[in-house]
Amino acid sequence: MNERDQVLNAAAELVSAFARNDRDAYFGAFSVDASFVFYTLEQPLLSRDAYQALWDHWRSEDGFQVLSCTSSNAFVSLQGDVAIFIHDVATELRMQGELHLSQERETIVFRKQQQGLWLACHEHLSAMPEGLPSP
């Protein structure tokens, strides 16, 4: 399997783990030093542990549950041992008993590990520009 396909596979596994609420597999797809920028939060999350703590808070306090997550329009740019993955993502989740649907654009930066595994080291989620059709 070539490196582009390896990155696409790593991204698909990450999205699949998120979609099925598999906390361990989802966070296992990120390096410990990963950072996260979500337009819905006031501050970046500067480690995987910080995001896990927020995820756990959402689950225990807000009843956070991912119901579905679909990736489309994937693009990969290989930059040596770093790969930039961009896609559109449609997510359905439940928080505080309410259903939330979102159409977003996401960039995930993957870094190739010494053992050849691609782990995500940065995630940046953006709102989809207004006026664009949903996938």
pLDDT mean across residues, the chain: 95
What is residue 47's three-state secondary structure?
A: coil
- According to the model, what pLDDT value does residue 30 have? 98
Q: What is the mean pLDDT of residues 98-108?
A: 96
Average pLDDT in the 10-24 region?
97
Residue 54 has pLDDT above 60, yes or no: yes
pLDDT at 131: 59
CB 51 within 8 A of CB 36: yes
Residue 7 in this model has a pLDDT that exceeds 60: yes
Q: pTM of the full predicted structure?
A: 0.93
Who contacts 69 (Cβ-Cβ below 8 Å, separation ≥6)?
15, 18, 19, 89, 90, 91, 92
